[in-house]
Structure 1
């Protein structure tokens, strides 16, 4: 089973569909009930068993409980995919410390919450994936907190991978080096293909970051 955290209509939805098409059951954690229900119906039509929960992933208690319920229902979590980030259009001179910390709590801190909750249901061969961004290296000053989030979550993935490697569980951040679009190399479906490829690689020569440049 794959648990998709921050499930919605973009890359996370495409990731859910990609894994469902490959035979995975899917658990969705997101904030919009209508979007989750629509995505769940699509996944069921593809033959997947689907569960979904509405939760704020910055609420540690609620997010942990939701992930635990998913794990207890199936007895295992094979893949945990983390997608959330906050886009706040403020430059460094207008962004407040409180706003920055709120955004980092979503785009970075919530990964700790869901991984810690999922760990009890993950075993050797389990994988953690994160939707990364070139904003980690080339931030746009007009949305300064996004680059901080993406750099921070990538760094955290490196630490998670080193920590979990002895248990046969690996983590990867897929750095999307382009702007998402409806056509071309950076559609959500193409990015989802890249995430699928990164997650299903052989462990020999594993890296905790994989760039996707289209």
Structure 2
């Protein structure tokens, strides 16, 4: 048996790295998919220097074919995906009087739509007990009018997770969106370390009593 595999899309030096570390501590091989190899490789190198198994690749989340390629490459290398973590969101400071339809749809494609090809590429290699994990936000319920596409993304991806969980549950794979009800910070209850541990806990719950949505209030 190979080690379980954790894949994070939208990997960065904050929550993406810390959550990858938390799963690595639990015995997972961490695959960090970032906006470029130059951005993601140092994150994987940091985990390797700490004694964990980790690797990195680039993915263009606005390119459906590239999302499929990146996740399929993980499946080809390791034969399995045990945790598929969808972490990205687009931040665009444009009020509704300035925002264009094209800008709105681009952000939704980035922060919601990219989950579909990632899931479709991973699903055949997700064994019973595997998890789809999505980083949510209070913006889903209380959006800021100065950057309205974030709220649209987080509300939409939370809704999508409901359908993913219902679709995959019959094969023993569950999905959860964890809504972070606070602003991410450098430390404290909304620091990356604390939130990453909450994400790990949300994804590793038993199937009994499973819910597709959980909240983290710090």
TM-score by length of 1: 0.98
Question: In terms of mean alpha carbon deviation, does 35-44 or 121-130 score higher?
Answer: 35-44
For the pair 1:207 / 2:211, whether they are aligned, the reply is yes
8 Å contact 1:173–1:210 — kept in the other structure? yes
* Residue of structure 1 aligned with 2:45, choices 21, 41, 44: 41
Q: CA deviation at 1:10?
A: 1.4
Residue matched to 1:161? 165
Residue 116 of structure 2: SS of its match in structure 1?
helix
For the pair 1:55 / 2:51, whether they are aligned, the reply is no
8 Å contact 1:20–1:47 — kept in the other structure? no
**Cα distance in structure 2, aligned partners of 1:84 and 1:188:** 15
| 1:32-181 pair list within 5 angstroms | 32-181=36-185
**Larger proportion of helix:** 1
Q: CA deviation at 1:32?
A: 3.0
8 Å contact 1:172–1:209 — kept in the other structure? yes
Q: CA deviation at 1:48?
A: 2.4
Residue 147 of structure 2: SS of its match in structure 1?
helix
* Residue of structure 2 aligned with 1:12, choices 13, 16, 19: 16
Question: In terms of mean alpha carbon deviation, does 11-20 or 144-153 score higher?
Answer: 11-20
Q: CA deviation at 1:62?
A: 1.1
TM-score by length of 2: 0.96
Residue matched to 1:23? 27
**Cα distance in structure 2, aligned partners of 1:9 and 1:183:** 14
8 Å contact 2:41–2:57 — kept in the other structure? no
Q: Which runs of 5+ in 2 are unaligned?
A: none
Residue 158 of structure 2: SS of its match in structure 1?
helix
**Cα distance in structure 2, aligned partners of 1:157 and 1:115:** 11
Q: CA deviation at 1:160?
A: 0.2
Q: Number of aligned residue pairs: give it.
A: 214
Q: Which runs of 5+ in 1 are unaligned?
A: none
Question: In terms of mean alpha carbon deviation, does 37-46 or 105-114 score higher?
Answer: 37-46
**Cα distance in structure 2, aligned partners of 1:32 and 1:74:** 21
**Cα distance in structure 2, aligned partners of 1:157 and 1:48:** 29
Residue 114 of structure 2: SS of its match in structure 1?
helix
